[in-house]
């Protein structure tokens, strides 16, 4: 049965076969959500970066985050395609112009939007109850995090082909705050910026978190050499942590179950060391 579902990102109704039996997800966060609400068996194809949960790795990969192999997509005959905005805005428009049933999601600028996107995905595929349950489980995790009396300052650097740091309107900065810290760039209106060495030094961060592109044994030394080249040796006196790749940058439910809980443990450990 055809049904029109409103999409507030596109400001339009999207007509899909409902509930959809053939889903394509080109957004890693949506892919993870679909599996966690029990709709993973309906997903017939994803983007190359959809590898959460592990079962998603085995699905047909239709291309990168911004490009699709249309000869493969055409064969799949998807009844709904999930995309996101930001870097996928152009691809979303392209797919719509070609007549595909595209349901686009907002880039999460807060933990609240990660939660909201779960409900939106669940509603679009007819898994409303399961999405409510997942939403509630994640809220319980968040609500267990205590509010600290002392907030350490946190500097986060992502390697995205060069150093990038999150500003205020990001799920990462919001996550740092909920976890008990304060992002040193929480005053920036931009989502992601190339960190200015002078501003980083002046902030005197208590905790430094570096997220490489990929996990390898020498990432810490590579990061230290990068700091030295940029005149940021002062940061070596801070507590430095190196995450695995795409750990904090990911915007799916596991940001809450894994990344947020890790941030809270990391920040709590620093607070305990100062008592």
Residue 88: predicted pLDDT: 93
Residue 149: predicted pLDDT: 85
Positive or negative, the Cα torsion across 210, 271, 108, 17?
positive
Residue 42: predicted pLDDT: 98
Q: What is the mean pLDDT of residues 104-117?
A: 98
Residue 236: predicted pLDDT: 92
Q: Using a pLDDT cut of 90, give the percent of the chain over it.
A: 92
Alpha-carbon torsion angle 142, 259, 35, 74, nearest 10: 130
Residue 181 token pair: 């810290």
pLDDT digits (tens, 9 = 90+) for 188-215: 999 999 999 999 999 999 999 999 987 7
Residue 201: predicted pLDDT: 96
Residue 140 CB contacts under 8 Å (≥ 6 apart), including other chains: none
pLDDT digits (tens, 9 = 90+) for 32-90: 999 999 999 999 999 999 999 999 999 999 998 889 999 999 999 999 999 999 889 99
List of domains in the chain: 2-141 (3.40.50.1980), 153-273 (3.40.50.1980)
The C-alpha atoms of residue 47 and residue 79 are separated, in whole angstroms, by: 16
Alpha-carbon torsion angle 80, 94, 107, 141, nearest 10: 20
Place 239 in a pLDDT band, splitting at 50, 70 and 90: very high
């Amino acid at each position: 049965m055809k049904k029109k579902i409103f999409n507030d990102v596109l400001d339009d109704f999207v007509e899909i076969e409902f509930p959809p039996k053939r889903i394509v997800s080109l957004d890693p966060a949506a892919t993870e959500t679909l599996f966690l609400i029990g709709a993973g068996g309906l997903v017939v194809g994803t983007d190359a970066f959809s590898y959460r949960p592990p079962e998603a790795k085995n699905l047909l990969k239709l291309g990168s985050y911004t490009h699709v192999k249309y000869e493969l997509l055409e064969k799949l005959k998807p009844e709904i395609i999930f995309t996101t905005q930001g870097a996928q805005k152009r691809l979303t428009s392209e797919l719509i112009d070609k007549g595909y049933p595209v349901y686009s999601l907002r880039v999460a600028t807060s933990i609240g939007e990660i939660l909201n996107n779960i409900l939106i995905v669940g509603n679009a595929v007819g898994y409303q109850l399961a999405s409510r349950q997942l939403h509630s489980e994640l809220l319980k995790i968040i609500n267990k995090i205590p509010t600290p009396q002392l907030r350490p300052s946190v500097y986060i650097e992502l390697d995205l082909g060069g150093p990038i740091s999150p500003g205020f309107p990001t799920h990462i900065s919001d996550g740092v705050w909920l976890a008990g810290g304060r992002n040193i760039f929480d005053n920036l209106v931009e989502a992601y910026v190339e960190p200015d060495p002078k501003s980083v030094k002046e902030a005197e961060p208590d905790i430094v978190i570096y997220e490489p592109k990929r996990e390898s044994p020498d990432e810490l030394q590579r990061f230290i050499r990068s700091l030295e080249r940029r005149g940021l040796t002062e940061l070596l006196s801070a507590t430095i942590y190196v995450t695995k790749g795409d750990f904090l940058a990911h915007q799916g439910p596991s940001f809450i179950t894994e990344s947020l809980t890790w941030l809270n443990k990391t920040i709590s450990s620093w607070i305990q060391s100062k008592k």
